[in-house]
Structure 1
């Protein structure tokens, strides 16, 4: 037997060809990163191709899921207590020299498409209380009950309670500070879900944030 002939130097790729191949591979990797990976993973689409290919929407969903998981993982500072009687007496008083608003009662219904979210907030003074009752029809919802303090930094978070795939909740929400207090819901099912919220107590305004 004879050993195979050793290829001659002329048959090996030149340094110029190797550099050219490496450059082409690097450029291709950057193109894939910008047009596919960034839109699909981080919802960043500098070229617009991610939107055309439907990858940006995927990235937005992933980003939303990550934010929701972070919110759910955060410890709550104060948890509301359930109440079977929503018409229980709520104490009147004043805070910071401002009189508590008169007892008000409002209800709101919102339909959420799959992966859609909404938030409803009440304007409340510190120490004010509201009895609430919310229910969903069509499926369960992820929720986060929290408050936004007047003048607080963006990183501020004060939670009253949170959960996943819930269809109903009742209780009393007592404001820990002057500000906006309320509920965030997200529909993670594949069907439309309608949430209906009833509140009664010491608040000056109910507002659907989005």
Structure 2
């Protein structure tokens, strides 16, 4: 019966293997572990390999909340002193606008707000999508009742209030009138909003 041969590594080979292992561990530590776990990327390798995107700081949630104040229910729609117009109770028409599709861009200047609206009949439908080229905006998606006579205080209903850089949804118009978005830019540079629409409306 033959004996099993167990090779014995020399001292130099063991030291060499140990050094190689330490080098590999160091590369992984600097290039992957530090960027992903601690957000530290001294060599820039972590960013190139995408590891820095895995890092979430412990106070990231707090920073977001501090940047964008909570929106309260009382901020939605007209003040309680503005009565809902009787025109809001008008029946829907027998025929809606023809379905159309549009894509528009609006620029929201730094430190200012603008509105973009479409006109819809009662129970008309529209699907929408909007996104910014950068930064988050305050947005009030709302509708104004079409009234027979002009009034000083216009009644409106808010459908969505939020801080966002992108939004997608559908609307079934609750009354005839203008429906759209008020965008507020609290940043220091202009923001371009691209709005896509498909539905029963006119511009």
Q: TM-score, normalised by structure 2?
A: 0.53
1:165-180 matches, cutoff 5 A: 166-180=164-178
Report if aligned partners of 2:145, 2:176 keep a CA contact under 8 Å in 1: yes
Give the distance between the partners of 1:189 and 1:71, measured in 2 at CA. 22
Runs of 5+ in structure 1 lacking a partner?
Answer: 1-68, 78-94
1:77-96 equivalent positions in 2, closer than 5 A: 96=92
Seen in structure 2, the aligned counterparts of structure 1 residues 137 and 149 have a Cα distance that, compared at 3 Å, is same
Matches of 1:72 and 1:116 in 2, distance apart?
A: 23
Q: Distance in 1 between matches of 2:199 and 2:127?
A: 6
- Output the CA distance in 1 between the equivalents of 2:93 and 2:193: 36
How many residues get paired?
Answer: 119
Larger Rg: 2
> Does residue 1:145 correspond to 2:146, yes or no?
no
Query: Contact (CA 8 Å) 1:133, 1:199: kept in 2 or not?
Result: yes
**SS, match of residue 194 in structure 1:** strand
User: How large is the Cα RMSD of the aligned pairs?
Assistant: 2.6
CA contact (8 A) 1:72 1:162 kept: no
Q: Is the 8 A contact 2:97 2:200 kept in 1?
A: yes
Normalising by the residue count of structure 1, what TM-score does the alignment of the two structures yield?
A: 0.51
Distance 2:125 2:159 in 1: 13
**Structure 2 stretches of 5 or more lacking a match?**
1-69, 79-90
In structure 1, the partner of 2:75 is 74
Partner of 2:128: 132
Q: Secondary structure at the match of 1:99?
A: coil
The equivalent residue for 1:156 is 155
